[in-house]
Amino acid sequence: MSKWTEFTFILQPSPLGGIGVFTTHDIPMGTRLFSGRFSPRQMKSADVPDAFRKYCVYLNDEECLSPKRFDRMEIDWYLNHSHQPNIQKHPDDYMIASRDIRKNEEILIDYNDFGEPEHLKEDYYIKR
């Protein structure tokens, strides 16, 4: 299977900590992943409870992008960060495999691609 389907990814404990997204089959480089374009909702950061903010992408000091519903988050909100990711954001707001990905491998993205203001980035994804 080389095409993305609803059975391509599964949530599992990540060696990076917490939960991660893992493949159920090999994925060739260039494969378009996940269900369409990234279409989050825009919220005031102050309206998001602290425990949920780690799932947000910050636009500025007062606003963020969040899942449409936190109680029904799509699997791509669980992607973990890496400075050597295996997927990347396409300019048209969808994800593609940036290299061949093996079955059972964790799917990783560089959070720096989301364009958050430098002063709002978490320390662990700032290259030093």
- Summarised one tens digit per residue, pLDDT across range 64-91 is 999 999 999 888 889 999 999 999 988 8
CB 66 within 8 A of CB 43: yes
Residue of higher predicted confidence among 35 and 120? 120
User: Is residue 92's pLDDT more than 90?
Assistant: no
- Label residue 104 left, alpha or beta by phi (over 0 means left) and psi (-120 to 50 means alpha): left
Sign of CA dihedral 34, 40, 46, 49: negative
Residue of higher predicted confidence among 35 and 109? 109
pLDDT for 76 equals: 87
pLDDT digits (tens, 9 = 90+) for 5-53: 888 999 999 999 899 999 999 999 999 888 666 678 999 999 999 999 9
Residue of higher predicted confidence among 68 and 119? 68
Q: What are the structural domain ranges in the chain?
A: 14-35+74-115, 36-73
Q: How confident is the model at residue 127 (pLDDT cuts 50, 70, 90)?
A: low
> CATH for 14-35+74-115?
2.170.270.10
Cβ neighbourhood burial of 78 (10 Å; 0-12, 13-18, 19+): middle
